[in-house]
Structure 1
Amino acid sequence: MRFARPVAFILLALAANTVGRAALAHEFWIAPEKYQVKLGASVRADLRNGQVFSGARLAYFDRNIARFEIWDQAEARPYSGRMGDLPALQLEAPAEGLLVVAHETTPDDLTYDSWEDFAKFAAHKDFPDIEQRHSARNLPRTGFAERYTRHAKSLIAVGSGAGSDRAIGLLTEFFALANPYSDDLSAGLPVELRFQDRPRSHAQVEVFERAPDDTVSVTLIRTDADGRAVVPVKSGHVYLLDAVVLRPLDPEATSGDDSATTGKPAPVWQTHWAALTFAIP
């Protein structure tokens, strides 16, 4: 029923906007339909936002994308979809090897009407001193805003899946130091967490593990002085790694942006979320 597409497109646009604002304190990740595909097959993946490795599908919209790239073992290239595409990524017959999909969102703001909501979020993401830092800057406890961006990667095996991940210059990112589809991971999967092209040391990493029966467990690990950590993994399971940077933001530095014309408060904190998804055969 081709005539139904415009209506669906409008609904998708409304849903994308609603989800983007209602679930901002939740994780964002790339969710391939299959983490291992045959050579010559297409790769399809959703952008998702939610909790405990379950979330709403987000359609492809240019206004929400700062960077969307496909990295195979030979080259990197930008990815462009059609407005409203679900899944957001629809890639035909990529080259054989380990495929890296990278996505960065444009900045968006969230206003907190409750101090408790912000404090719980900050504590959950390993910033227990947030109240002291907030008070030291003489910031209001309600009616203040946070600016956030998302920086997601996914590892997909095409054919043999041979090859390696690498740091690709996202503002904050994980990169796998071993291939989850071909290497011996009996001791776990080593990863490195980076921010501004440097290792991020002693940072909390939240590990979401989905079992074959779709149950999800959550554990916390921490990077070492070199920004590295080892993720315990199991055959047949799917993983999402999540880590958040929280930094002060001078409201004077954003006084010329949209907040000045919309009447919304200028953001005083900024968060940058790194995510990595992969599966273990």
Structure 2
Amino acid sequence: MLSIGHWGWRGLFAVALLCPNPACAHDFWIEPSTFQPLPGMTISVALRVGQDFIGDPVPYMSNAIDAFFVRQDGEDETLSGSEGLEPAAFLRASGNATAIVAYSSAGSTVELPAGRFKAYLEQYGLDETISERRLREEDAKPARECFYRYAKALLSGTAPSPSVTQLLPFAYEIVPDRDPTTGFGVFRGHIFYDGEPLADARVEALHRQDPSVRLSVRSDAQGGFSLTLPQAGVWLVKSVHMVRAGFFSDCDWESSWASLTFEMPEERP
């Protein structure tokens, strides 16, 4: 069952609407009204939960949020919205350089039957967890999971921003090696867990206009990865990491979900 303590009754109701089947494992991402705002433009910031880059709206719920802010022109501005409503926030884009919209959740819990939990692990390439459950002879047991969301979106400006390539204070994060809003082609980045590069993490990329365009790669020993994005447009890059929960945790497993959305420009002739 879902932990009411994290979400409150309003949040629990919203989650029940979005995920009536407890087996569903959903991606979470930020979808602004535009990824290419004009200087001074006010844009809406929507939170989405779903699969294949098709999502349902997530309302602003303060008790479900750990951090929600925009980083632009070297400063961080906290974002907030109307409780229980969506879009989750509005912001005024400076347009000077690439801005980062960032969100981290306070965390939630879910308990899944054994078969459904295994199917979810297989879907997201969490092979180490599958192996560990087998070694512990837990294959036939339900699993209680604590999960946390870490989402970022990039808003293009008149110039690239070095902030795009820097770590945020997130437990799990996809960090580009260069600003992907300024060039077409290969997306290179690194995966970080607790501030350290993470090897063998599966990273996927989906195209919004055609979710069947799906790329997948594993990070190398230094946490690096490379994805050749075949077309311009809005992309979702995502990854999930799971570890055994600590001895004093109420859960068996803890998962971290990272996502990055941005719009890649057309290839120049």
Q: One fold, TM greater than 0.5?
A: yes
Q: Post-superposition shift, 1:144?
A: 3.0
Mapping of 1:115-126 within 5 angstroms? 115-126=114-125
Question: Which of 1 and 2 has greater Rg?
Answer: 1
For 2:192, give the aligned amino acid: R
Structure 1 stretch 122-131 or stretch 51-60: which is displaced more?
122-131
What's the CA shift string for 1:226-263, capped at 9, x where partnerless? 2111221245321111111111114x513xxxxxxxxx
% identity of equivalent residues: 22
Q: Post-superposition shift, 1:215?
A: 4.7
Corresponding residue of 1:4 = none
Corresponding residue of 2:73 = 73
Mapping of 1:64-143 within 5 angstroms? 64-94=64-94, 96-113=96-113, 115-137=114-136, 139=138, 141-143=140-142
Q: For the residues of structure 1 that align with 2:125 and 2:12, how far apart are their CA atoms?
A: 33
Corresponding residue of 1:221 = 217
Q: Post-superposition shift, 1:111?
A: 0.8
Q: For the residues of structure 1 that align with 2:38 and 2:179, how far apart are their CA atoms?
A: 17
What's the CA shift string for 1:122-177, capped at 9, x where partnerless? 1222223434412444547334311111111111114x143230211211001112
Q: For the residues of structure 2 that align with 1:97 and 1:52, how far apart are their CA atoms?
A: 29
SS in 2 for 1:201: coil
- 2:265 aligned with 1:270, yes or no? no
Contact 1:69 1:76 in 2 (8 A): yes
TM norm structure 1: 0.82
Contact 1:234 1:280 in 2 (8 A): no
Q: For the residues of structure 1 that align with 2:27 and 2:193, how far apart are their CA atoms?
A: 18
What's the CA shift string for 1:97-139, capped at 9, x where partnerless? 11101101111111112x2211121122222343441244454
TM norm structure 2: 0.85
Corresponding residue of 1:58 = 58
Number of residue-to-residue matches in the alignment: 254
Change in 2 beyond 3 A, CA 1:13/1:44: farther
- For structure 2, the 5+ residue unaligned runs are 1-8
Change in 2 beyond 3 A, CA 1:11/1:116: closer
What's the CA shift string for 1:55-110, capped at 9, x where partnerless? 11101010110111211131123222221231112112445211101101111111
Corresponding residue of 1:49 = 49
SS in 2 for 1:240: strand
Corresponding residue of 1:5 = none
Q: For the residues of structure 2 that align with 1:83 and 1:13, how far apart are their CA atoms?
A: 14
Contact 1:204 1:220 in 2 (8 A): yes
Corresponding residue of 1:199 = 197
Q: Post-superposition shift, 1:12?
A: 8.7
Q: For the residues of structure 2 that align with 1:139 and 1:65, how far apart are their CA atoms?
A: 32
